[in-house]
Amino acid sequence: MSAGLQAEDFTCNGHVEFGIPAQADQYLCRDGYAVGYDYQTKNPAWVAYHITGDGVSIRNRRSNSFKPDKTIPSQYRANLSDYSKSGYDRGHMAPSATMDYTPKAGKESFLLTNMAPQLPGLNRNGWRFLEKEIREWAVDHSELYVVTGPIYYGGPSKYIGDGVAVPDAFFKVVFDPLAFNAIAFISPHQKISKADLTSFITTVDHVEQVTDMDFNQLLSKNYENTMESTQWSLSDW
DNA sequence: TTTGATGT
């Protein structure tokens, strides 16, 4: 993306059609997702992606080719060595299995600007289940907008490698633009199971309070206020 | 594991 593009003009293939969640140091646009990147943490502040039921049903082979993102200035860029032997996974924000409707989109999901340090006990357990659930919801709901990212309570305090911040928690906001419903999650950064997930459902309002972001800000405020204060259960959504 | 990663 050109350096001169203003945030308000950044819609990125429709991934942030309803407005960027927060200003960022650098905006990145890929086929499958949009990123607001944070220089201080060397992580994405948010990753937004629009998915359809048709798209998530198309699968291509997982690339597993993790790569540093050379569009980020080197002093702010995460590298493979930062994660190596850290004990943390390179945790996808926009999941590979959700992005793999084309080989190119799938490969792009392996850029480190789509990653944050994530404990295997989260990434490979409860979080993975949530990602799978969202793919199934995309089929049921026809299309969804998802925003996900890290949370640092009181600011970043723990790092791996050369200054890649370890999040305290992760959020997900899932918005159905046809039904005008939204469900949200905040998961602590710890081992969680599929069964634990239901206890981490919250409202979009709460995620906005914790992250200081604004989701779906371009929607009618009437819709937004109702939608963002609704607490869902997994079975009703 | 048809997912999501690590280490050799």
Domain ranges of chain A: 7-229
Q: Which residue is nearest nucleotide B5, judged by alpha carbon to C1' distance?
A: A89
- CA A154 to C1' B3 (Å) is 33
Q: Give catalytic residue positions of A.
A: 92
What six digits make up the tokens of A51? 């998915």
Q: How does pLDDT run along chain A (237 residues), one tens digit per residue?
A: 444 455 667 789 899 988 899 999 999 999 999 999 999 999 999 999 999 998 988 888 888 999 999 999 999 999 999 999 999 999 999 999 999 889 999 999 999 999 999 999 999 999 999 999 999 999 999 999 999 999 999 999 999 999 999 999 999 999 998 888 899 999 999 999 999 999 999 999 999 999 999 987 766 666 677 788 888 888 778
Residue A148 has a pLDDT of 97
Cβ-Cβ contacts under 8 Å for A50 (sequence gap 6 or more): A13, A14, A15, A17, A143, A144, A145, A146
Residue A221 has a pLDDT of 65
Residue A60 annotated as lining a ligand binding site: no
Question: What is the nearest nucleotide to A129, using C1' and CA?
Answer: B3
pTM: 0.93
Q: Which residue is nearest nucleotide B7, judged by alpha carbon to C1' distance?
A: A85
SS3 A228: helix
- CA A109 to C1' B8 (Å) is 25
Q: Which residue is nearest nucleotide B4, judged by alpha carbon to C1' distance?
A: A124
- CA A80 to C1' B3 (Å) is 21
Instruction: Judge whether A49 and A15 are in contact, CB under 8 Å.
Output: yes
Cα–Cα dist A84/A78, whole Å: 11
Question: What is the nearest nucleotide to A135, using C1' and CA?
Answer: B3
Strand B bases within 7 angstroms of protein beta carbons: 1-7
Residue A76 Cα distances to A22, A34, A210, angstroms:
19, 18, 24
Superfamily of domain A7-229: Extracellular Endonuclease, subunit A (3.40.570.10)
Residue A50 has a pLDDT of 95
SS3 A55: helix
Residue A10 Cα distances to A18, A30, A73, A89, A204, angstroms:
10, 12, 20, 30, 22
Considering only CA atoms, which of A146, A131, A143, A128 is closest in space to residue A54? A143
Cβ-Cβ contacts under 8 Å for A89 (sequence gap 6 or more): A83, A117, A118, A119, A120, A123, A124
